[in-house]
């Protein structure tokens, strides 16, 4: 059967970003099964024994309680499981000196759902027919933002400034406030902090500047803290969540060991959250009650915050160190490589200045060398202007063993060095038009 899709059906059936190349990665792994192939493309967090045990313990506690039947055998409210909301309110008020009430919290089936609801509740065609934009203040960004809107051409991103540190082969993206446009055509603003894929952390000043620009137009700002504190606390630099006003702080329990349960939590103004809650009621009623129930236990007793800081964060920070040290040893001095400063998340972001081929071509070379990474051009949703930089980057996952990361980086450095040495004068005009 070949059913006729609506305009929205056609748009939503298209794969975007990383999902568009996953078919090729899966096929490569299938055809090369048993061969020495290092997969550094995954976004799935590794299963850490201490984290798995935490969720096992919470599951046993839930199953032994009289609440079990109410959790799994009954529908709940669209806002979320009441004990989880209470645990979040108590923990955040104590931890950050807030005055939240239960009306400032909404639980969704993963944080991706928050941005989907937001993009379509506040972005797209308004009641007067005006197109409201979903603004990403700087790019590259989380590839999933590319598919959140039901209205075409709604997501708009802005090119960042690059702060380059030549001596230690690092760089950092910063918002370009001279270019950033937030006005009456803006529906909402979304950005991740720490950022997937780059690990970038916007400063408090940058966050407040973005939020302040949005205030005159009544525009909500959604901060995606899927890697931020207090759980999973995958920030490698000082970072404090920012709350209040038009800011909606959004976090997820996926990288805290519950990706399969899809638990996302938004904290913010009750009127903003009410619009998202209504959207959720129509879409799916509510998030998984089982995941919410065990999360309520882990947050209320402090175990989740503790395992985040003492297990999850150092585990991935150590892997980033292995990657950085290996690249510094493996690359010759004359190769123009730069790692984005590792400020958080579970990826490294590599920029290869003046790369003599596209990122997709380099991806194919690296596969033949036995290492799989993700071409960086997948991570520029909403940025339509030509920019050669988009084809010069790679995302490298830290979800492998230390030995695999080190060997993978040795292979990567050797392959890239050969590419530069064999193509010193190749014309770029046909690649980056």
pLDDT in tens, 247-294: 999 999 999 999 999 999 999 999 999 999 999 999 999 999 999 999
Packed helices 111-122 and 270-284: angle between N→C axes, nearest 10 degrees: 100
Secondary structure string (H, E, C) spanning the chain: CCCCCCHHHHHHCCCCCCHHHHHHHHHHHHHCCCCCCEECCCCCCCCCHHHHHHHHHHHHHHHCCCCHHHHHCCCCCCCCCHHHHHHHHHHHHHHHCCCCCHHHEEEECCHHHHHHHHHHHHCEECCCCCEEEEEECCCCCCHHHHHCCCCCCCEEECCCEEEEEHHHCEEEEECCCCCCCCCCCEEEEEEECCCCCCCCCCCHHHHHHHHHHHHHHCCCEEEECCCCCCCCCCECCCCCCCCCCCEEEEEECCCCCCHHHCCEEEECCHHHHHHHHHHHHHHHCCCCHHHHHHHHHHHHCCHHHHHHHHHHHHHHHHHHHHHHHHHHHHCCCCCCEEEECCCECCEEEEEECCCCCCHHHHHHHHHHCCEECEEHHHHCCCCCCCCHHHHCEEEEECCCCHHHHHHHHHHHHHHHHHHHHHCCCCCCCCCCC
Tokens encoding 117: 């609801």
Name the least confident of 25-29, 60-64, 150-154: 25-29
CA 76 to chain centre: 28
Q: Do 400 and 377 form a contact (C-beta atoms < 8 A)?
A: no
pLDDT tens-digit series, residues 73-126: 999 999 999 999 999 999 999 999 999 999 999 999 999 999 999 999 999 998
Fold of 74-304: 3.40.640
Say how far apart CA 96 and CA 298 lie, in whole Å: 18
Name the least confident of 23-27, 179-183, 327-331: 23-27
User: In the chain, what is the greatest distance between 2 CA atoms, to the nearest angstrom?
Assistant: 72
* Predicted local distance difference test score (pLDDT) of residue 43: 84
CATH number of 7-49+307-419: 3.90.1150.10
Residue 5 has pLDDT above 90, yes or no: no
* Predicted local distance difference test score (pLDDT) of residue 17: 66
pLDDT band, residue 424 (cuts 50/70/90): low
Mean pLDDT of 412-421: 97
* Predicted local distance difference test score (pLDDT) of residue 425: 54
pLDDT tens-digit series, residues 148-181: 999 888 999 999 999 999 999 999 999 999 999 9
Q: Do 214 and 246 form a contact (C-beta atoms < 8 A)?
A: yes
Structural domain boundaries of the chain? 7-49+307-419, 74-304
Say how far apart CA 341 and CA 175 lie, in whole Å: 15
* Predicted local distance difference test score (pLDDT) of residue 432: 38
CA 388 to chain centre: 23
* Predicted local distance difference test score (pLDDT) of residue 241: 96
| Other Cβ atoms closer than 10 A to 284 | 14
Report pTM. Answer: 0.94
Say how far apart CA 49 and CA 294 lie, in whole Å: 17
Mean pLDDT of the chain: 93
């Amino acid at each position: 059967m070949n059913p006729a899709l609506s305009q929205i059906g056609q748009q939503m059936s298209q794969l975007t970003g990383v999902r568009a190349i996953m078919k090729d990665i899966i096929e490569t792994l299938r055809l090369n099964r048993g061969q020495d192939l290092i997969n550094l493309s995954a976004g799935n967090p590794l299963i850490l024994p201490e984290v798995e045990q935490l969720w096992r313990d919470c599951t046993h506690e839930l199953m032994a309680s009289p609440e079990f039947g109410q959790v799994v055998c009954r529908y709940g409210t669209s806002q979320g499981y009441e004990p989880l909301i209470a645990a979040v309110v108590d923990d955040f008020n104590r931890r950050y000196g807030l005055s939240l009430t239960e009306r400032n919290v909404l639980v969704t089936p993963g944080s991706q759902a928050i941005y989907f609801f937001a993009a379509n509740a506040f972005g797209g065609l308004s009641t007067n027919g005006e197109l409201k934009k979903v603004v990403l203040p700087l790019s590259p960004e989380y590839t999933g933002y590319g598919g959140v809107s039901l209205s075409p051409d709604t997501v708009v991103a802005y090119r960042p400034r690059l702060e380059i540190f030549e001596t230690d082969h690092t760089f950092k993206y910063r918002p370009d406030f001279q270019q950033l446009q937030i006005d009456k055509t803006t529906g909402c603003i979304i950005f991740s902090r720490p950022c997937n894929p780059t690990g970038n952390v916007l400063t408090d000043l940058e966050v407040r500047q973005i939020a302040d620009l949005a205030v005159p137009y009544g525009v909500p700002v959604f901060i995606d803290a899927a890697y931020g504190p207090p759980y999973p606390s995958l920030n490698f630099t000082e970072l404090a969540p920012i709350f209040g006003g038009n800011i909606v702080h959004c976090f997820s329990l996926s990288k805290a060991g519950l990706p399969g349960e899809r638990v996302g939590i938004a904290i913010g103004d009750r009127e903003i959250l009410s619009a998202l809650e209504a959207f959720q009621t129509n879409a799916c009623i509510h998030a998984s009650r089982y995941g919410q129930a065990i999360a309520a236990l882990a947050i209320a007793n402090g175990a989740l915050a503790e395992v985040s800081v003492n297990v999850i964060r150092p585990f991935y920070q150590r892997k980033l160190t292995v990657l950085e040290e290996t690249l510094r040893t493996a690359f010759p001095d004359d190769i123009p490589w730069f790692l984005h400063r590792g400020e958080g998340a579970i990826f490294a972001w590599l920029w290869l200045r003046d790369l003599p081929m596209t990122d997709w071509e380099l991806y194919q070379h690296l596969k033949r060398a036995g290492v799989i990474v993700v071409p960086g051009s997948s991570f520029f949703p909403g940025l339509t202007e030509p920019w050669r930089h988009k084809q010069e980057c790679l995302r490298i996952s830290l979800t492998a063993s230390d030995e695999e990361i080190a060997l993978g980086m040795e292979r990567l450095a050797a392959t890239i060095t050969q590419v530069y040495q064999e193509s010193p004068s190749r014309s770029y005009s046909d690649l980056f038009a």
